[in-house]
Structure formats: C-alpha cells, structure tokens
Amino acid sequence: MVVPELKAWRAARPHVVRIKRTVQPHVTRVAQAVQPRVTRAARSVRPHVVRAAQAVRPRSVKFTTPQLTAVAATAGLALAAGAVAFAGPWDSSGQRTAERDWAASRDGEGGADHGRSSVTSPAAPKPAPSAASVLTGLGGSIVSVPAPTQKALTSTLDRLLGDPALGGRRTAVVVDVATGKRLYGKGADDAQIPASTTKIATAVAALSAAGADHRIETRAVLEPGTKEVVLVGGGDPTLTARKKAAGWASLRTLADETATALKARHLNQVTLSYDTSLYTGSALHPIGTNPNLAPVSALMVDEARTDDSASGPVTRAADPAAEAAGKFAELLEAKGIKTTTPGLSRATNRSQSLASVSSPPLSALIERMLTNSDNDIAEAMARQVALATGRPADFDGGAAAIDAELKELGLPLSGAHFTDGSGLNRDDRLTADLLTALLVKAGDPAHPELRPILTGLPVAGFTGTLSDRYADDASGTGLVRAKTGTLTGVNTLAGTVVDADGRLLAFAFLASDTSDPSAAQSALDRTASALAGCGCR
C-alpha cells in the first residue's frame, strides 16, 4: 500500500541544501543540542505560515489540516535553515552528521538522505531504504480516505485543460497511487513529445538496472613497466574540481592520492594520459552544441561548465575529457608531480591502481537530476542503464536499454519511443499513461530502490525547476511535487500531489503546439493546484 508523504519537511531538504552550502560545513557532532533548536524554530514559524496561507488562499480552495501542516513545515524549515546551518552539524550532503549516525545505529534501517556523502562506512545505512519511510507515515489510514470520483475530476479538469494556452494537443492522466486506479484520462494513450519529463523514465530505468546504491568510479592507474599514468573516466558528470566538493567525488582528492602513490614509487615525473573508452559513439547530442548539455563523455569535471554554476544553461567546454585531464595535470603539478601534456589513451587490463574516487550513490544523482532537470546527469544515467544491461554506452544503446528495462518492469510502453535520456530530442515520445505508471511504480513498496524519484521531484514554489513557479497560484505551493518539461511549443508537468482529503495522486499533463511557454506553464500549474484543492466527489 502506498500512502502520501505527510512529513513535508523532507520535501524541503533540497531547499535547505542550497542555503546551507553558504556555510562552512565542518562542525562537530551535536545532534542532541541542535534538535531542540530546530524544533523551536519550526514551531515558532508554523502558526505564522498557517495564518498567511489562510489569508492568501483563493476562496474556492479549502486547505485541509494535513495540507496546511505540509506547507507550514516546508516553509518553516526553509525560513529556519539559516539559523540551523550555523547551529550545525552539517555534512556535505545537507543531512546533519549526527542524524546520519543516529540512523546508522538503527540496525541499518536507512535515513541518511540516500547516502549523498562520498564518505561511507560499513555501519552507514544503505541509500535506497533510507527513503522508504517517506511514504509509509499513515499506515493503513489511507484506505479510509475517499478517492476523487471520475465524474468530479472530469468536471474540474476538462475545464482547466481546455485553456487555449495549452495549445492544440493536450493529454492528461490522474491516478490514485494507493490503488493504481486511473481516475481521469484524456488522450491517455496518445504519445506526445515529453520534453524533460523523459527524465522520470530514465530515472526508473537507472535505479532498476544499476541499483540505487551504485557508485560511479573515476580512477588513476599506472601502466606497469612505464611512467604512464592514465586517468580513467567512469561516467560521473558530477566529479568536481572545486575546492569544496560538497559531497561529490573530488578530482582534487584523486590528484592528492595519486601524487602520494607515485611518490611512494619514487616517481615524480610521469606521462599523463586519459581514457574515455567506456562510452562509444558520438559525444554530441542530435540537437548539436547547446548550453543545456555538454558533449557526453565518460570523463568530465563539473559537467564541463565554464563558470561556477551547478545547474542551468551555460557555455560548455568543447572537449570535456581533455579539460578534465588538464585540470588533473595542474593538480598533480601542485603536489610536486611533473606531467606531460595529457593525451588520449586506453588503460590496459594490466594497469596498477594508484587511486580512485567514487560518486555518491545513484539515488543522490537521480535526485539532483530530477530537481534541477540536469541533462548531463540524465545522459550519464542512460549510459549507466546501457552498461548495466550489456549494451553499447551511446545514445542508441542508452535509449534501447531504457526501453528494455521499463518493459521488464511491466510498464505500459505502447507508443513510447526513446532516443536519449534527457528529453532534449524532439523525437522522444511518451504517453501520460506511462508517466503516471512510472510514478506509481516509484511509490510501490515492492520497489524501494525507486523512491528517490518521488523525493527528487521539485516542490512547487520551493525547489529546483518549480522554485520560481506558483507565485500567482499559492494554492499549490508546497503541495505539488512535479517534473517539468519545456521545449519550443511543448510544455509538460508530471508528478504527485496530496488532495484535500489526504489522498496521494499521480498526474501527467502534456501539451503540444503551445505558443506562449509562460502562459502554458501557468495553465499546467493551475491544473495541478486544482488537484491539491480537490476532494472531487
């Protein structure tokens, strides 16, 4: 049985992460000292948020106690985050260190925010089960809450989906997550361009095929009998060369450990090469050079961004692997290891390991991908599916692997067509029926490895690609959690919402031939908000 996530403070975690990253994350373990402060801060702000929500909500919308609690908790945690960050102790993942340790002591039950920290120990909880409790807070009470009726939903949604801003083609499905029953359908089986909602399918396939606790390794190896050091890419686009790694795999750490290993071998001058052979095929997406996606390579740092940004469009390095190897050479030089200009090579099976770093678990990468609609991670995840299923790690292999993995899970693939992992390709096709089925599968207790899909969805008005939406539609703020999708003439939204009675619903809205993206987004937001305010019986 799947029940709604009422502990909405979990929904605010990505927002808190953004705030806390401005604070030095090195403090000691004082969870018992921090917890009362957090509790007092949340309790003090909640009444004000509730009153504000009641004052601004439209007269036609009736917030229920669970919904007001959800919004108050989400907003309260966001407002208190500054004080909490200084109170500490925060680790690089945004999870309080002592909370993680407490969770680890609970017989491995989980609770470490999907294990986002690159620091692991045998006692640490496994990443996927840490999210399992998110959807199990109500026990069996959900079955006593009535689900919306098809007739009432049709009356409400047909009017909203008829908005001319949604273009000439629009499809929609609403499903009761607890039962899997479809409550509303409009062109449910009509395949449309899904844009970035494709990432939901990519996420399901990656977590299913590779596993939520899978980590991507970047290595430095020494070819025996030579002085050749090879930097071997494992396909981690989140590998970072920044001084503050923020929990992601660090190229600086890899260089430090490599230098130490070389000095132990009395080597202070080497030939430096780099290996990108894990991926095959073209590195360039069919859309061509684009600020939304770097050339796809098994070796890159900071998604080949040419500034300090972590998300959004920006100019990318033309050759991510060469750039990464160049930075690695600089870091080795700083540690007293002289190198040649890096050149492309391939590590042999006789190579000796010098050092390695690993990404956070795939669950953390999936959450970041969904929250920020990160195209670089999405294409990397498609290739991880291909590698896990024995297919070539290129665009075609990744697309075929996603399709095959979803078929293995018994999902409705009629009309679906995958060409990439990100949804940037306009040849992609998905149905509203498939998108809601993916969300329902992610909430299935039989598939706890898929839970990061639900926890990674942006929260309306708070996180990721929904942080600047819902400003003119407060009724959905903090209640709608959804993946956005936007291409020229295409606007989509798919996610979950708790209705006025506390029922968890999954929805997918796809609109094509739209002419005003802002108006189309607002129309989709209003439609999702209507579900939040709807008992609809």
**Catalytic residue positions, numbered:** 196, 199, 373
C-alpha 195/C-alpha 426 separation (Å) is 7
Nearest CA among 528, 502, 510 for reference residue 147: 502
Do residues 459 and 73 lie in contact, with contact meaning Cβ atoms separated by under 8 Å? no
Q: What tokens appear for 430 in the block?
A: 């998905």
Nearest CA among 387, 518, 495 for reference residue 442: 495
C-alpha 419/C-alpha 176 separation (Å) is 30
Q: What tokens appear for 210 in the block?
A: 């590779």
DSSP letter (8 states) at residue 305: B
Nearest CA among 425, 324, 418, 423 for reference residue 374: 423
**71 alpha-carbon distance from chain centroid:** 21
C-alpha 109/C-alpha 453 separation (Å) is 19
User: How many beta carbons lie within 10 A of that of residue 374, not counting itself?
Assistant: 28
Q: Is 461 helix (H, G, I), strand (E, B) or coil?
A: coil
The reply to whether omega before 89 is within 30° of 0 (cis) is yes
Buried b (16+ CB within 10 A) or exposed e, 403-429: bbbbeebebbbeebebbbbbbbbeebb
C-alpha 260/C-alpha 184 separation (Å) is 61
